């Protein structure tokens, strides 16, 4: 099926989040002869990356940073000329709210797992019995349950509870990883959601020993820098990156307000993409290549007519709803010194909130910017909602804000009204990776590629977070490029059309 004049291929990318924009950018950059079209149902490109102003400060409404040790996001930002936008958190220390009080996370933790038991004891987070149980991980003679067979996945909870006991898991690991994934670490795949822990026990059973060896290896690496950032943000907010990606695409490539209803493989090759715009006007587009950079539940509906088994598996992937409420608060209305990046909340504390970021402590540049809020105002970003807990999203905005203000009074001694409030609701925001997810996700992507010209990418598959999505999108773009190259060579060999 010929979709465009001459030999130019038309590539339709569905979804203009970070994955779809990155994939489209790489294809257009490396194959300028191709026509790249990005379709998105939203009013703007960027997906779940969004930045807006509250109290005179540019503040993200979702992700506000990305991991520094995964280079894909840093490299892409540099390519797009965003080097001067890099900022790093001024505070690395954080707290956990447990047993009715804020406790500082001890030194030496890795994804919540302690590697320094003396620091853990000093934190006051764990009982003596819990410390003794954690120390059993270091005893090769300890009678601990066996782990899974080599290569088999398990949950983070199964690994940490087995090696260090319930108390370490519940006090440290679960609040941290559940906060990141808006789920429960007792259900989270260790391979997909905590690969560093999986690697630590790959060659020997002790989790603490494995993590210590990782740290020693890092300390002796030629490029080791003790002051290297753990996270980077962008001075203008994370949307700066998606805006730059959108701006780098050829004019007219992105079409927003377009809902894709069907993607159907054509019997002669290629695809027919049927969509509706905001006025419900139907359109039909032909494509040589289709990349679905949509969440699994949306992808499921699009492939169900011709790939029902794949659709069923994609549709079964669970997602968590999250609300992020941003407060601008007079500094003198908060009792806590805010001497950290924020805090996470343990289960069983009776709070609606799951985390709070002390934004004004974390991002020092906010108050150095012209027009930023005065020194008496601070920004707090409060998260609520996780998989299986619908309470936050069931409340209207006023009810949600009121409930979280009560939680802030309980945790950091907030009293008095905020200066300004912003509510950001993210329905089906984060996929929940269960044991075996990575193998299943790779199978889904491979099955999609069994249909010539069809590809899947995005957070549903091989990793959460901005760097992981960028890396997968770039791999997908490379595979699309191989197909375009093959099509071009085949066309050249066949003579004029």
pLDDT 10s digits, 394-446 = 999 999 999 999 999 999 999 999 999 999 999 999 999 999 999 999 999 99
Q: Is pLDDT at 157 greater than 50 in this prediction?
A: yes
What is the pLDDT at residue 1? 43
Which positions ≥6 away from 306 have C-beta within 8 Å? 264, 265
Query: Angle at the Cα of 362 (from 67 to 66), degrees rounded to 5?
Result: 15
Using CA atoms, how far apart are residues 442 and 462, in angstroms rounded to an integer? Answer: 7
CATH 3.50.50.60 residue ranges for the chain: 10-47+240-317+436-494
What is the pLDDT at residue 470? 98
**Average of per-residue pLDDT across 85-107:** 95
**Average of per-residue pLDDT across 164-182:** 95
Average model confidence (pLDDT) for the chain?
93
Using CA atoms, how far apart are residues 126 and 132, in angstroms rounded to an integer? Answer: 10
How many Cα atoms are found within 13 Å in the side-chain-facing hemisphere of 170?
11
CATH 1.10.3110.10 residue ranges for the chain: 108-219
Using CA atoms, how far apart are residues 433 and 437, in angstroms rounded to an integer? Answer: 6
Q: Is pLDDT at 372 greater than 80 in this prediction?
A: no
The domain 319-431 having CATH identifier 3.90.660.20: the answer here is yes
Q: How far is CA 347 from CA 120, 186, 354, 404, 471, in A?
A: 19, 12, 9, 16, 33
DSSP 397-465: HHHHHHHHHHHHHHHH---S--SEEEEEEEEEEEE---TTHHHHHHHHHHHHHTSTTEEE-STTTS--S
Best CA proximity match to 388, nearest among 176, 184, 194: 184
What is the pLDDT at residue 368? 57
Residue 92 backbone phi and psi in degrees, to 5: -100, -25
What is the pLDDT at residue 488? 61
**Assigned token pair, 372:** 């930023």
C-beta neighbour count of 471 within 10 angstroms: 21
- The single-letter DSSP state of residue 8 is P
Lowest mean pLDDT among 232-236, 279-283, 360-364, 408-412: 279-283
What is the pLDDT at residue 60? 98
Q: Is pLDDT at 495 greater than 50 in this prediction?
A: no
CATH 3.90.660.20 residue ranges for the chain: 319-431
Using CA atoms, how far apart are residues 424 and 326, in angstroms rounded to an integer? Answer: 8
C-beta neighbour count of 383 within 10 angstroms: 24
Look up the pTM and report it: 0.94
Q: Is pLDDT at 126 greater than 80 in this prediction?
A: yes
What is the pLDDT at residue 493? 36
Q: What is the pLDDT of residues 309-361, one digit of tens each?
A: 999 999 999 999 999 999 999 999 999 999 999 999 999 999 999 999 999 99
Best CA proximity match to 328, nearest among 355, 354, 365, 366: 366
Q: Is pLDDT at 208 greater than 90 in this prediction?
A: yes
**Assigned token pair, 131:** 């410390």
What is the pLDDT at residue 492? 47
pLDDT class of 392 with cuts at 50, 70, 90? very high
Q: What is the pLDDT of residues 465-485, one digit of tens each?
A: 999 999 999 999 999 999 998
Q: Is pLDDT at 252 greater than 90 in this prediction?
A: yes
Using CA atoms, how far apart are residues 429 and 432, in angstroms rounded to an integer? Answer: 10
How many Å is the Cα radius of gyration of the chain?
A: 24
Query: Angle at the Cα of 170 (from 168 to 171), degrees rounded to 5?
Result: 65
Return the CATH class of domain 10-47+240-317+436-494: alpha beta
Q: Work out whether strand 342-345 and strand 95-98 pair parallel, antiparallel, or are unpaired.
A: parallel
Higher-confidence residue of 397 and 373: namely: 397
Query: Helix H segments across 201-276?
Result: 207-219, 239-248
Lowest mean pLDDT among 137-141, 296-300, 370-374, 428-432: 370-374
Q: What percent of the chain has pLDDT over 70?
A: 95
Q: What percent of the chain has pLDDT over 90?
A: 86
Task: Please give the CATH number for the structural domain made up of 108-219.
Answer: 1.10.3110.10
Strand partners, 14: 39, 292
pLDDT class of 224 with cuts at 50, 70, 90? confident
């Amino acid at each position: 099926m010929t979709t465009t004049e001459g030999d130019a291929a038309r590539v339709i990318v569905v979804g203009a989040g970070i994955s779809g924009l990155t994939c489209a950018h790489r294809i257009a950059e490396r194959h300028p002869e191709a026509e790249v079209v990005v379709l998105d149902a939203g009013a703007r490109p960027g997906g779940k990356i969004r930045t807006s102003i509250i109290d005179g400060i540019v503040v993200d409404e979702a992700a506000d940073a990305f991991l520094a040790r995964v280079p894909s996001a840093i490299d892409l930002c540099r390519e797009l000329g965003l080097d001067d936008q890099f900022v790093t958190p001024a505070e690395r220390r954080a707290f956990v709210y447990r047993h009715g009080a804020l406790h500082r996370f001890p030194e030496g933790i890795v994804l919540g797992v302690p590697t320094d038991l003396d620091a853990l004891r000093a934190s006051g987070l764990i009982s003596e019995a819990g410390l003794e149980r954690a120390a059993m991980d270091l005893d090769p003679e300890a009678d601990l349950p066996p782990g899974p067979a080599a290569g088999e996945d398990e949950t983070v909870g199964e690994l940490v509870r087995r090696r260090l006991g319930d108390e370490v898991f519940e006090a440290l690991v679960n609040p941290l990883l559940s906060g990141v994934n808006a789920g429960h670490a007792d259900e989270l795949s260790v391979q997909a959601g905590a690969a560093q822990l999986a690697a630590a026990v790959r060659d020997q059973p002790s989790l603490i020993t494995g993590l210590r060896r990782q740290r020693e290896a890092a300390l002796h690496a030629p490029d080791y820098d003790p002051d290297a950032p753990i996270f980077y943000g962008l001075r203008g907010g994370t949307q700066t990156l998606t805006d730059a990606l959108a701006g780098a695409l050829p004019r007219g490539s992105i079409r927003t307000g377009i809902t894709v209803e069907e993607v159907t493989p054509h019997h002669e090759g290629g695809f027919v993409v049927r969509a509706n715009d905001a006025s419900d006007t139907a359109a039909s587009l032909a494509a040589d290549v289709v990349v679905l950079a949509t969440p699994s539940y949306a992808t499921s509906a699009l492939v169900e007519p011709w790939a029902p088994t794949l659709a069923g598996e994609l549709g079964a992937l669970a997602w968590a709803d999250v609300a992020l409420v941003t407060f601008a608060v007079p500094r003198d209305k908060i009792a806590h010194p805010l001497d950290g990046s924020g805090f996470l909340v343990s289960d069983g504390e009776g709070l609606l909130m799951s985390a709070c970021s002390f934004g004004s402590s974390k991002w020092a540049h906010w108050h150095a910017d012209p027009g930023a809020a005065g020194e008496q105002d601070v920004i707090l970003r409060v998260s609520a909602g996780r998989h299986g807990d619908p309470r936050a999203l069931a409340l209207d905005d006023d009810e949600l804000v009121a409930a979280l203000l009560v939680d802030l009074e309980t945790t950091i001694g907030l009293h008095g009204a905020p200066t300004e409030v912003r509510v950001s609701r993210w329905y089906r925001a984060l996929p929940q990776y269960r044991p075996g997810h990575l193998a299943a996700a790779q199978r889904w992507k491979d099955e999609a590629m069994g249909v010539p010209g069809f590809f899947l990418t995005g957070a549903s598959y091989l990793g959460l977070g901005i760097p992981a999505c960028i890396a997968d999108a770039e791999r997908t773009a490379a595979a699309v490029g191989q197909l375009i190259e093959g099509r071009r060579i085949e066309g050249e060999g066949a003579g004029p059309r």
